[in-house]
Every structure is written in C-alpha cells, then in structure tokens.
Amino acid sequence: MEYMTFALMLLCFHVIWLSIACQGFSSLQPHNLSSCNLYEGKWVFDDTYPLYDSAVCPFIKKEFNCQKNGRPDKLYLKYKWKPTACELPRFNGEEFLRRYRGKKIMFVGDSLSLNQWQSLTCMLHSAVPSSNFTLRKKGHQSTFTFPEYSISLILWRNEFLVDIVKDKKLGRILKLDSIKGGNAWKGFDMLIFNTWHWWLHRGKHQVWDYMQEGDKIYKDMDRLDAFRKGLKTWSQWVDYNVDPSDTQVFFQGISPTHYHGKEWNEPKSTCKGQTKPLGGSVYPGGSVPAVVVVNEVLSSMKKAVTLLDVTTLSQLRPDGHPSHYGYKRKKNDCSHWCLAGTPDTWNQIMYAILVSSETP
C-alpha cells in the first residue's frame, strides 16, 4: 500500500511538472496559432521588453542605434505586439539556432531588409552572447555567421529586386522584366524578400534614368504600375526557381513611413518627438496602396510565399523611427526603425510562423 501511495505521488508530481514545463511551449503549438490573425491586435506595455540591449549588440548600424545616438526616451522600447486572439510566442534565439543549424538564410531587398536582418542577428546574438560570430561584407552581400551552429544569415542589397543596367547612351536603365541578379539567391534554405521604398524616389535620390519593359523605353511611368510590373517579374522568378521542399520564402510586407501626422490625426507632427504607440488596432490614415499590389501578386503565384503582413502593426508605431537620432543628426528619418524596436516584432512573427509550421 505504501509503495502504491508513493508511486501515485510520483505520478502526480510528474504530471504537475510536465504541465508547468509545457506552459512555456504551449503557445508555440500549431493549433494555437492556426486560427489566429497574428497581424490584428494592439501594442501593450511590457516591462520585460526590449528583447535585447542595443548597447551589447556590437554590430548595429549607426543609423539604427537610437540610444547610442542620444535618444533620451526609452518608453518606446517597452511595448510588445499582442494579437487579439492569441499570444505571440516570445522569441527563443537558442531554439531558432537549434532548428536552423547548418542552414543558410538570406534577406534580399533595400535598407528595410537591412533593418530586419540586423534585428535578427541581434536577437540571436543576445541569446548566445558567448558564442563566436563572424561578420563580413563583400559587394552587395553581408554575411553573419555563428560557426558553432553552422548557420549563416546573409543580406543581399537589391532595392528593386529587378535589374538595373548601364547603357552608354541612356545611362541607368531599370529593367522591369529582367531579374538576372536572382542567380545569387539560389541554394538557400530560407529567403526573405522586400522592395517598395526606392520605387518612390525622385530627383537626386532616383538611381535610374529610364525604365524598360521588353523593347519599350520609358522616361517615367506611374510608380505603382512600375512596382507591380517589377514584383510580377520577381514572382515569376520564384515560381520558376524555388522548390518549396528545399526553400521557404517570405515577403516582408510594406514598411510604412510617418512623415505626415495628419495620417494619425496630428496634422503638424512627424515621427519626431513621438514616444509611444498609437492606441487601438486601426491606423487612422488607412492602408498603403502598395499593399494591394503585393497581395495581388502573391495571390497569383504558383509557389507558396508567406507574407509578413507587418504594415498595420508598424503604422501604429510612429514612435519607432530614429527621427533625428539616426546617424546623420540633421535628417529626420521617419522611414527606418530604431534597434531594438519594431523590426524585432517582424522577426518574432516570422519565428512564430516557423515554429508553428514545423515539427521540432
């Protein structure tokens, strides 16, 4: 009888222990996220944030390191994204490194890809601070590696995804239907693409002189139409070159800017001086036209691409930009994001999608 009682006590203890141990992992299970819209929710205060200290992440680009550049407020660091119907699992860097040991991950795009890539490297570095890393840059490519885990996180800078070529007579031509640069993206286990902001640049910030589609040369065209054509070319490249059983593909959704306070009912404001997120789940200024194009193109693809639909949740963060605490203090940067900051949530959502769709 005493033995049976002791055995029963052991069994109960085991059940209780298992229940407690599983609580930290339950939010990662697929059934908890499959019916949850991760992009519908609000920002809530959480004193355990940020996910890492920018002061101990030695490779953050100067233009993103707002605290080092003198930003006096820190409240903007203390918010997490709370989906309406579920809890977003907290990022687990060691788990990420374990799952993707030996893998090659590439971010392809503009400086917003740089923002997200640097965020992920900091999140992983903070999880294993004693693990050695290497960081090398050559041409368009920056490579961050953890030799201990044989994992590589690579950034390939390509602002339009499609090609820009130099012509002796016409100068720089943005070729809307050419993507030869895509040869550099083959053979990776994960690809995260992004493009949009550079399609809007004009004047001295415009890096092309003409556009071309087929045999037709254009001095200019509606930028949203040009974006649609370029993104369609990219989608065809993915459909033709990517095997979903070998490579998982994400498209980083449109990252918003906050130069016009009228969008959030503060007509005289920009991101400068903003210290906390907007309340609620809806951005007063509505969506970004490019979002419609992205949804349209992705829905027509043959191969599966996961959209990181970060637009609305990022629109609610006018406080998250460097403003004049970027590298060039005279510039009011309401386009990029402070690190630590909003891009950490983009990666946290990507992590949630990954762990909920794979078997450990």
Query: So which residues are the catalytic ones?
Result: 111, 333, 336
And the tokens for 278?
Answer: 């907007």
Question: Beta 141-146 vs 216-218: how paired, if at all?
Answer: unpaired
Interatomic CA distance for residues 326 and 67, integer angstroms: 9
* Residue 206 CB-density burial (10 A; 0-12 exposed, 13-18 middle, 19+ buried): middle
d(CA 46, CA 343): 17
Yes or no: say if 80 and 44 are a contact pair by the CB < 8 Å rule: yes
Q: How far apart are CA 358 and CA 345, in angstroms?
A: 20
Tokens of 359: 């078997």
In SS3 terms, 244-309 reads as CCCCEEEEECCCCCCCCHHHHCCCCCCCCCCCCCCCCCCCCCCCCHHHHHHHHHHHCCCCCCEEEC
Bridge partners of 152? 104, 145
Rg of the chain, C-alpha, whole Å: 22
Output b/e per residue, 51-67; b: 16+ Cβ within 10 A: bbebeebeebeebbbbb
